Structure 1
């Protein structure tokens, strides 16, 4: 069928809900439906020999689980487009393409040989998206369907169901202490380096948050807090994911070479690597004890995400970029100040916190055990869909052009400082 190159624009009447409130509504809806008993089984993608593709992955029951996840994510994606008054036709056509590419990534990630390398599915999603996006020109209807931020934020709300405050508290306060020290020191260093290299303020804020807090999640939260440029956000996310791959593979080897204990290794990995999936994969390479500590430290940083987003909202509001009165460059009054803070605060963080509190302190363990696998699988799928979308949107030429070299150097220098200072803090606290 032919699709016109000129696409309908977003409804001029404005969205029913802002993107963040749409994410909160849709993320909590998925959780509520699961708790009500409508549980989508988590499909299996693991295989060793090609014959197992037919007997395991493409078995009728497993295909039904894949179709069930497609039905859920497709419906949510269409509901998101409707709430945001975006063209439904492009989402109707484009989402199945992104889903198909993502399933291909999950199939590759499920191969035993590749899985033994501890490569996360999101790496394959990003790689496939980058290959397609850089080797072929995307049709307009597919480009218009890509909703990276929406899909990642839905995954972040679902991530709250696995960030259990009780687990962190049981492990003691060391993880939270390290997370706080790392976030503060690395954020300010990254901010200082980026300013010295004359990186623009929006990109500086996103880079500093991504390096210091929790990678993609922090970059998205910061972009929401300052209403940042989506192209700059995609650039930062691409940097985070690309640098996470060598760090994930090399840091466990470096820790072994340095003779670090499993506890120090885990704290180093969890505080340095910027994506949760890569932390888990890297921690698995270093052993069970290191994996436990690395996960706790990373979750501690995730918990600080909401606090950091609020602090960034305050900072941005009280600078010339966030003032309500451009003529005076000053806030126009106390009520206006708080109104602007609330307007810029990333509301999807509320969904993340609500989900975490619900699963930490309200739901019985039997209920959590019933729904956790399904929700975790859907969370991973939303992330994989988003990373496929990031790859499709990202062009290598844009990453290395002259305008992007300074933020690239700022990111790499800050990441180098992050590796060194986090190792020192981890050694003092866990050594």
Structure 2
């Protein structure tokens, strides 16, 4: 583990940081940016059309569940190999602005978090989100430490499992300056584990005879990406989808708070200089905390508060086709576009030697953490929505 100062000019190779100096010519940078945009457009085409193109094949049902990060990282990997073979990848790398794309996307994600809807869902949904995130995050952090994973990767795995998958992982990566290879690895694990959950959780809920609200709370609290939650909820029914979407929205709202906590912890504990005591850093290092603070969190919170206030003042504006609803839809489309650009860039920047370095341990952590998440999520959903507050959702 590196012990360099977080304000040092030098950084660990591959860290998620916006301060990497641009050393290549402007022409190569423009070419790199154009390639990222072209691949992102290709991803959108694949995501929109692949289900129809493969409808009559064995791949058709699976294609409906594949989300854009799969295509984005895959195309990024493909062109990573092509550019590396031709010797131009490093020349174009300044155009692969992963961190910029990620942070803009996360700010736009804030427009989808309507505080008013969260409050309407009520106390049980908020309690469930807080308890489930806390239990799963610290269990995953503990277990990853037991088998020897380094703190930055532990933070990404714990955030992805406990909050909302890819979005939480990219937020955590920005907060702790994780390596891009670690982020790509965790994003891949999220997608691989989310796909079977789309079909497994609705089936298990039916076998156990769970009510729609308990099923929705379980799906929303456990499946790690919003798109996969939507797919699973739709399979279980419209009422289940409604509850699942709100529970996932509450978890999304907590991304910013977790990112702030991780930023402070890693600045004061993990990445502090080895020759400076914790007390010294705590007294004099709050400037370092602010320099490491993920500023996109402020944009995320501002966007969420703004949309929530406007929706409260102009409730009719959130009906289908109204101006605020159209604005939120446009922001969501932009969010998807920037996340697509980010994951294409991750694929292009990926150093394949990192896979060998990471080994099998992150897979084991994700598997064990997923089981813990399923059990804790089911218990909390049944207890809160089926027993304690069950009368409110009859």
> Normalising by structure 2, what TM-score?
0.79
Q: CA deviation at 1:396?
A: 6.8
CA contact (8 A) 2:176 2:266 kept: yes
Matched, 1:305 2:255: yes
Taking the aligned partners of 2:153 and 2:96, their CA distance within structure 1 comes to 22
CA gap of 1:287–1:120, structure 2 versus 1, over 3 A, is: farther
CA contact (8 A) 2:233 2:240 kept: yes
Q: CA deviation at 1:224?
A: 2.4
Q: CA deviation at 1:200?
A: 1.1
Structure 1 match to 2:391: none
Taking the aligned partners of 2:357 and 2:365, their CA distance within structure 1 comes to 14
Which 5+ residue runs of structure 2 have no aligned equivalent?
Answer: 1-8, 10-15, 387-394
Structure 2 match to 1:360: 308
Asked which structure has the greater RCO (Cα within 8 Å, sep 6+), the reply is 2
Tell me which of 85, 90, 98 is aligned to 2:28: 90
| SS of aligned partner of 2:285 | helix
Matched, 1:110 2:48: yes
Structure 2 match to 1:288: 238
Matched, 1:166 2:116: yes
Which 5+ residue runs of structure 1 have no aligned equivalent?
Answer: 1-11, 13-18, 23-79
Tell me which of 361, 364, 380 is aligned to 2:336: 380
CA contact (8 A) 2:181 2:354 kept: no
Aligned residues: 351
Matched, 1:126 2:81: no
Q: RMSD value over aligned CA atoms? A: 2.9
Matched, 1:346 2:294: yes
CA gap of 1:312–1:333, structure 2 versus 1, over 3 A, is: closer
CA contact (8 A) 1:101 1:125 kept: yes
CA gap of 1:250–1:148, structure 2 versus 1, over 3 A, is: farther
Matched, 1:415 2:365: no
Taking the aligned partners of 2:27 and 2:96, their CA distance within structure 1 comes to 13
Q: CA deviation at 1:393?
A: 4.0
Taking the aligned partners of 1:152 and 1:180, their CA distance within structure 2 comes to 25
| SS of aligned partner of 1:160 | helix
1:53-86 deviations in whole A, cap 9, x for unaligned? xxxxxxxxxxxxxxxxxxxxxxxxxxx99xx767
Matched, 1:424 2:362: no
> Normalising by structure 1, what TM-score?
0.73
